[in-house]
Amino acid sequence: MELGWLLWGAGVLLLLHVLMELSPAVNFALRIGFYCLLCVVGSALAAPVCLLVNGGRTVKNMRIIKTVVKTFKYFFGVRFEVKGLENFEIEGPAIIVSNHQSILDMMGLMEVLPDDCVQVGKKELMYAGTVGLIIYLGGVIFINRKSTTSAKMVMAEVAKTMAADKVKVWVYPEGTRNCTGDLLPFKKGAFHLAVQAQVPVIPVVYSSFTTFYNPKKNLFTSGKIKVEVLPAIETKGLTSGDVSDLTDRCFRTMRETLFRLSGCPSEAKDSS
């Protein structure tokens, strides 16, 4: 009986191996599926720990979530090379902005996430089962991207409370995932928030994933991600009239850094 089960198990594993070798699409789907499974199982394990240790929804839970997510990279052979972490050593609140390429970004986020830092996320994530629960418990600020008025109201409330709560807020200013090796134009919410709260903006740039991860080509292998935390940009004294300039300045700095970290030839920068 046991031998029968063993043979079945071995057969299934062999079949998966052959399918993965034969079909990049199957390989990609299995690896992404496994990543999602890790997120679901990791969240289910972390949620009770968060509730027992911290009692409910609080940014302190991010430490627990970070500990869990930081183990994921070993399953996929993803390595991080991080520079500039000292630029996070700012007393009190700040807005952190970074590029957003994929759901895999959660590994890069947790690799460098400073203490007392919450993220701004789309409200749909709240309904992603155990992942939604853990994101809620971690204190993520949910916005409705379908309603500019509602999103702006939430951000304005955050601007009022972030100084008192002494939290840093992590925003993906592209507003959606983009795995093209370039940046999408930045939305201005993060920069309005920084100016309204009169707190610095800290840009964080992750090198392009395209050499090892590309959903259009069913590519997902091991790879190295370079991360650079850039020096803070002060906003003291800036007003709403300066938001566009601040946004452009961050965009240009981050785009240059993205190309440099990704080893992108200079023609690519000039062509778009």
If one asks whether residue 254 binds ligand LOTZAFKI (CB under 6 A), the answer comes out as: no
Q: What is the DSSP string of 48-90?
A: HHHHHHH-SS-TTHHHHHHHHHTTHHHHHTEEEEEE-GGGG--
Binding mask of the shown chain, residues 174 to 213, with x at each position contacting ligand UBL by CB under 6 A: --xx------------------------------------
- Window 189 to 228, contacts with ligand LOTZAFKI (CB under 6 A): 189-190, 192-193
**Angle at CA of residue 183, ends 262 and 221, nearest 5°:** 45
Q: Give Cβ neighbours of residue 26 (< 8 Å, ≥ 6 apart).
A: 19, 20
Interacting partner of 269 out of ligand LOTZAFKI, ligand UBL, none (Cβ under 5 to 8 A depending on kind)? none
If one asks whether residue 131 binds ligand UBL (CB under 6 A), the answer comes out as: yes
β-pairing, 117-122 with 201-206?
A: unpaired
- Window 92 to 111, contacts with ligand LOTZAFKI (CB under 6 A): 100, 106
Interacting partner of 168 out of ligand LOTZAFKI, ligand UBL, none (Cβ under 5 to 8 A depending on kind)? none
Residue 68: other Cβ atoms inside 10 A: 18
The b/e string for 213-226 (b: 16+ C-beta within 10 A; e otherwise) is: bbeeeebbeebebb
Least distance from ligand UBL to the Cβ atom of residue 227, Å:
16
Q: Which helix (H) or strand (E) holds 167?
A: none
Residue 83: other Cβ atoms inside 10 A: 12
Beta bridge partners of 220: 213
If one asks whether residue 63 binds ligand UBL (CB under 6 A), the answer comes out as: no
The footprint of ligand UBL (CB under 6 A) covers 36, 39-40, 100, 103, 105-106, 122, 125, 128-129, 131, 176-177
The footprint of ligand LOTZAFKI (CB under 6 A) covers 39, 42-43, 46, 65, 68-69, 100, 106, 119-122, 125, 131, 134-135, 138, 140, 143, 145, 148, 151-152, 155-156, 171-173, 175, 187-190, 192-193
